[in-house]
Amino acid sequence: MFYESTRGAQRGITSAEAIKKGIAPEGGLFVPETISSLTLEEIGQLAGKSYRGRAVAILKHFIDDYSEEEIEDCVNSAYTREKFGCDEIAPIYKLNENVCVLELWHGPTCAFKDMALQMLPHLLVKAMRKTGETSEIVILVATSGDTGKAALEGFRDVEGTKVVVFYPESGVSRVQKLQMVTQEGRNVAAVGVKGNFDDAQNGVKDIFTDHSMSAALEKKGLKFSSANSINWGRLVPQIVYYFSAYADMLKNGELALGEKLNFVVPTGNFGNILAAYYAMEMGLPVNRLICASNDNNVLTDFISTGTYDRNRDFKRTISPSMDILISSNLERLLFEMTGHNHELVAQWMNDLKTKGKYTVDSGTRKAIAKLFWGGFSNEEETLKTIECVYKDYNYVIDTHTAVGIDVYDKYVISTGDMTKTVVASTASPFKFNESVAEAIFGKESTKGKSEFELLDMLADRCGIEIPYGLKDLDKKKILHDRVCESGSMKDEVMQILNI
């Protein structure tokens, strides 16, 4: 299987090349030229496999330039019990007759980004070997909070790589920030940007397409790549868990083979929900993909009107990992929905860059609206949802998952659809404990307490264990204190790399 760029510059690229490059030279994203699918029988067989077995079965369709042993090797190194604390890796939790929660946060950094970033370094190191790469790879990352830590952790001390993470200095939770600035490892750096996630992501994309910078790096034997979901190697491991959720429901007798499911995905950069779309394209029986946003509801509007308009106030919310106005991976969906029309996509992306908005044709709009349903949850509704889910089910969810559940409720009210549904739970409640504790115990009881006192309070009162990765974070040494303007990210990278 080969890959091509959404803006038309390249075709016939192997998956190893696509993963190594991260982004195409003209700023387009790599997508598979064709997609192979699984038969229902093959999907049924996944039920008898472990998560690792399921991952091999799915991945080999997309990275067929890797041998089966190489894929097994990547999977076995990424998805271990030691790192994920459980053999299921991505277990499902039955909330009620209609809804299961897919817990994607058992990895070392307590958010779903680990599902891909524990795997990407292994895919990348092999890709370098397979393509005869001799340069060292510099991974540049823009993060709304969770990707940064997951990339630092995934790439720490991985030979032949360096990783530099840019996070919005005052746009992440305290736990998220501490996770990044205390990161150990010989090859890692974290830099706060005075700006929001979109500023950081634009800065990183500018660096990737700056030819004089790549030339300067080349002289030093260095090359850039990306660990954001613009890299296909980040997306492909995420396809697996949608199949895995389906397989688990088959196994538990929740579902008959062939029966359709809805997936609800709390969405920011559109990576996670796009992985669900690719799972469906591969034959997974899906009824509707429900795209859940917070107050930064640019995607909700896009799905209902066909106009993507980022000209609006950026809002800081209690679900900060979704505080995004430019959802990069929507570009891949548009490419798929227009039958791989790179001219149209390049035009829309250019409009987005120059005017901050674009409008798709009505055929594309209708095709998207048939498959996707968009909704959003405001701050008050998100908190209320955490409270209600705890009261009704004795189950603690984080703010992002709460956005998903609230939007699902709105979906049911609006459509009456009672198809069985899986909600992607994207972070551990401990990671956003301030809002979670406030929602469950009330403002009065949490007032004046530090995030770390709140961790203990949540653990004690709700009877759940503080994840290993978050324990004693406040006692760790701060190792990264760089801060820069969003306009000087290039200089920062040059300094860090000693160029």
Ligand X SMILES: *Cc1c(COP(=O)(O)O)cnc(C)c1O
Q: Which of 15, 118, 201, 267 touches ligand X (CB under 6 A)?
A: 267
Q: Dihedral through CA 144, CA 150, CA 153, CA 156, nearest 10?
A: -70
Q: Which of 62, 79, 263, 270 touches ligand X (CB under 6 A)?
A: 270
**Would you say 118 or 267 has its CB closer to ligand X?**
267
**Would you say 66 or 411 has its CB closer to ligand X?**
411
Contact stretch for ligand X (CB under 6 A) within 56-64, 266-274, 334-342, 454-462: 266-274
CA distance 446 to 436: 10
Longest dimension (CA), the chain: 61
Q: Which of 91, 107, 203, 268 touches ligand X (CB under 6 A)?
A: 268
Beta strand 482-485 with 188-194: parallel, antiparallel or unpaired?
parallel
Contact residues for 274 (Cβ-Cβ < 8 A; gap 6+): 229, 235, 329, 330, 332, 333
Provide, rounded to whole angstroms, the least separation between the CB of residue 481 and ligand X: 24
CA atoms within 13 A on the CB side of 43: 25
State the CB neighbour count (10 A cutoff) for residue 130.
18
**Would you say 146 or 406 has its CB closer to ligand X?**
146
User: Is residue 272 involved in binding ligand X (CB under 6 A)?
Assistant: yes
Provide, rounded to whole angstroms, the least separation between the CB of residue 25 and ligand X: 24
CA distance 100 to 277: 19
CA distance 159 to 266: 34
242 near 423, Cβ under 8 Å?
no
Provide, rounded to whole angstroms, the least separation between the CB of residue 274 and ligand X: 8
Provide, rounded to whole angstroms, the least separation between the CB of residue 225 and ligand X: 18
CA distance 78 to 318: 30
Q: Which of 21, 247, 400, 470 touches ligand X (CB under 6 A)?
A: 400
Q: Which of 113, 149, 177, 205 is catalytic?
A: 113
Q: Which of 303, 361, 362, 354 is nearest to 327 (CA)?
A: 303
Q: Which of 226, 269, 300, 377 touches ligand X (CB under 6 A)?
A: 269
Q: Which of 293, 317, 338, 426 touches ligand X (CB under 6 A)?
A: 426
Contact stretch for ligand X (CB under 6 A) within 33-41, 213-221, 268-276, 303-311: 268-276
Distance of CA 391 to the CA centre of its chain: 29
User: Is residue 377 involved in binding ligand X (CB under 6 A)?
Assistant: no
- List residues bridging with 484 in a β-sheet: 193
User: Is residue 408 involved in binding ligand X (CB under 6 A)?
Assistant: no
User: Is residue 321 involved in binding ligand X (CB under 6 A)?
Assistant: yes
User: Is residue 451 involved in binding ligand X (CB under 6 A)?
Assistant: no
Residue 113 is among the residues annotated as catalytic for this protein: yes
State the CB neighbour count (10 A cutoff) for residue 88.
16
Site string for ligand X, 93-132 (x = CB under 6 A): ------------------x-x-------------------
User: Is residue 54 involved in binding ligand X (CB under 6 A)?
Assistant: no
- List residues bridging with 421 in a β-sheet: 99, 262
Contact stretch for ligand X (CB under 6 A) within 45-53, 251-259, 261-269, 438-446: 261-269
Q: Which of 28, 154, 271, 375 touches ligand X (CB under 6 A)?
A: 271
Query: Which residues, numbered 228-247, are part of the site for ligand X (CB under 6 A)?
Result: 229
Q: Which of 107, 12, 51 is nearest to 247 (CA)?
A: 51
**Would you say 280 or 427 has its CB closer to ligand X?**
427
Provide, rounded to whole angstroms, the least separation between the CB of residue 435 and ligand X: 12
User: Is residue 382 involved in binding ligand X (CB under 6 A)?
Assistant: no
Site string for ligand X, 201-230 (x = CB under 6 A): ----------------------------x-
State the CB neighbour count (10 A cutoff) for residue 123.
27
CA distance 80 to 88: 10
CA distance 413 to 109: 35
Output the six-digit token pair for 335: 């490419």
**Would you say 38 or 422 has its CB closer to ligand X?**
422
Output the six-digit token pair for 440: 């469950």
Q: Which of 427, 437, 470, 484 touches ligand X (CB under 6 A)?
A: 427
- List residues bridging with 289 in a β-sheet: 263, 372
**Would you say 16 or 23 has its CB closer to ligand X?**
23
**Would you say 250 or 458 has its CB closer to ligand X?**
458
Contact stretch for ligand X (CB under 6 A) within 1-9, 50-58, 62-70, 267-275: 267-275
Q: Which residues of 257-294 are buried (b: 16+ CB within 10 A; e: fewer)?
A: eeeebbbbbbbbbbbbbbbbbbbbebbbbbbbbbbbbb
Provide, rounded to whole angstroms, the least separation between the CB of residue 323 and ligand X: 10
Q: Which of 305, 302, 249, 293 is nearest to 269 (CA)?
A: 293
Q: Which of 322, 383, 405, 489 touches ligand X (CB under 6 A)?
A: 322
**Would you say 66 or 232 has its CB closer to ligand X?**
232
Q: Which of 146, 153, 434, 492 touches ligand X (CB under 6 A)?
A: 146
Location of structure tokens 């958010």: 111
Looking at the annotation, which residues are catalytic?
113
Which residues of this chain interact with ligand X, rule CB under 6 A?
111, 113, 146, 229, 266-272, 321-322, 400, 426-427
